[in-house]
Structure 1
């Protein structure tokens, strides 16, 4: 049988190790997300530079102002679509990163809560007579803290889902609005 100080010492060490593991995991996920973001931006810049050079050559070769305006409006739709695709990809990267962070944090917190409750149960078994009210108080406090965390997690998930839905809705609306506008400008 372990003494209470040894149990707390072991629990503290396990908690510290778990925090380091979580930090390492989250750092790796953050690095992966930044890497994806950098790759997306590099590809976008390369593509934009190549298309700008091609468009500039076409515009400079226009024979009259009408052809110049026709060429410039014909590039509006593809540019708008690429901007929307970029926005969707960026939102996807952010959403995936948030999801991975949340998942990692939830599993780590659940494991930590399990260990704290196990330690508390063990300490409660060995508690001296007359400390039942004290033990009951701490059990209630742990239960309330877990309930509060679960509610916070649920609210955060709902907020993220609403944000993603609003972003997707906005992108769809912009895309639909851009199509008629570019068609109308290319007919002129």
Structure 2
């Protein structure tokens, strides 16, 4: 009797290949979105720099220059754009991470089920007296499953904590920027 079913092995290999293809597709799509975000930010920044130079070239006197200089100390627009860019990048990373975790989790569940079926098949055909070894193997398999679940929970919690910290830091920076520009403008 053979414990290995070649059709199941082929189906597993196909499922693993499909998983890799799905993960690769998600990563490529995320890289494409990140590139688009970076290109947009670069274009907006370049346009703002050219507009600043145009305004500088239009200065006709000391009063105009002082007004222009005061407008440059107003970082609100830059801060908002940077904050929005960082928020979008963070959201993209979180979404990609979540999607890949879901894909991997479903594949791990399917693999665990197959290993459990294999262990059951072995235990049914094991020679007499090997029950302690089979039980130890089953116990080890259960422990590995529990460890994987705990690692998944810890990774999810760490991701949520990082997202919360990022949101808090963004809110603090957004609030602090107008205050800093007001203090700078008063000096």
Would the TM-score normalized by the shorter structure come out above 0.5? Answer: yes
Q: How far apart, CA to CA, are the structure 2 residues paired with 1:183 and 1:93?
A: 33
Corresponding residue for 1:132? 131
For 1:36 and 1:138, locate their aligned partners in 2 and report how far apart those are by CA, in whole Å: 45
The number of equivalent residue pairs is 184
Give the deviation of 1:71 after TM superposition: 2.6
CA RMSD of aligned residues (A): 1.8
Secondary structure of the 2:4 match is helix
Q: Is the 8 A contact 1:33 1:93 kept in 2?
A: yes
Once the two structures are superposed, the pairs formed by residues 51-62 of structure 1 within 5 Å of their partners are 51-62=48-59
Q: How big is the shift at 1:109?
A: 0.5
Whole-angstrom distance in 2 between the partners of 1:46 and 1:130: 73
Structure 1 unaligned residues grouped into runs of 5+ = none
Preserved contact between residue 77 and residue 179 of structure 1 (Cα < 8 Å) = yes
Give, in angstroms, the shift of residue 186 of structure 1: 4.6
Work out whether 1:88 is the aligned partner of 2:87: yes
Residue of structure 1 equivalent to 2:15? 18
**Superposition map of 1:1-188 within 5 A:** 3-7=1-5, 9-62=6-59, 63-64=61-62, 65-74=65-74, 76-186=75-185
Shift in Å at residue 48 of structure 1?
1.2
| CA deviations over 1:105-149 (Å, ceiling 9, x no partner) | 111101111111122212322223222122111111110110111
For structure 2, the residue ranges without an aligned partner over 5 or more in a row are none
Q: Give the TM-score normalised by structure 2.
A: 0.89
CA contact (8 A) 2:3 2:122 kept: no
TM-score scaled by length of structure 1? 0.89
CA contact (8 A) 1:84 1:171 kept: yes
Q: Distance in 1 between matches of 2:8 and 2:139?
A: 20
**Shift in Å at residue 10 of structure 1?**
4.8
